[in-house]
Amino acid sequence: QVRLVESGGGSVQAGGRLKLSCEVYGYIDRTYCLAWFRQAPGKEREGVASIGLGALDSTGYANSVKGRFTISRDNDKNTLFLEMNDLKPEDTARYHCAAARNCWDWNLNPGPYTDWGQGTQVIVSS
């Protein structure tokens, strides 16, 4: 089990950018995949971006953010990032990072993820 702590959320205007960070406490190995999910009030949880540690850090994105968001990690600092550009009001949500063992490749389905952070709020105004 790992502990995840997100930071970097805030309020921006449409077209702006934010970079979220997720510090990963605990041991993770190549079997893990890591991901960012988001949930807005009244909406279902949505997988935004994921990275597969067992697949040479291959990445996958939701269609709604492809080309605007980038997931990456700093292996030395055990930190996961989500760089968000050209933000839109519909990106407003609470963003959570998550970890799944025995996952290997990127995965935007929340089912395999057993460890979740508390989240960080992102608000995008028009």
Question: What is the full DSSP assignment across 7-72?
Answer: E--EEEETT--EEEEEEEES---TT-EEEEEEE-TTS--EEEEEEETTTTTEEEE-TTTTTTEEEE
pLDDT score recorded for residue 1: 87
pLDDT score recorded for residue 101: 96
pLDDT score recorded for residue 77: 76
pLDDT score recorded for residue 117: 98
- Each of the 126 residues of the chain gets a pLDDT tens digit; together they read 899 999 999 999 999 999 999 999 999 999 999 999 999 999 999 999 999 998 889 999 999 999 999 999 997 879 999 999 999 999 999 999 999 999 999 999 999 999 999 999 999 999
pLDDT score recorded for residue 98: 98
Provide the Cα torsion 73, 74, 80, 81; round to 10°: -70
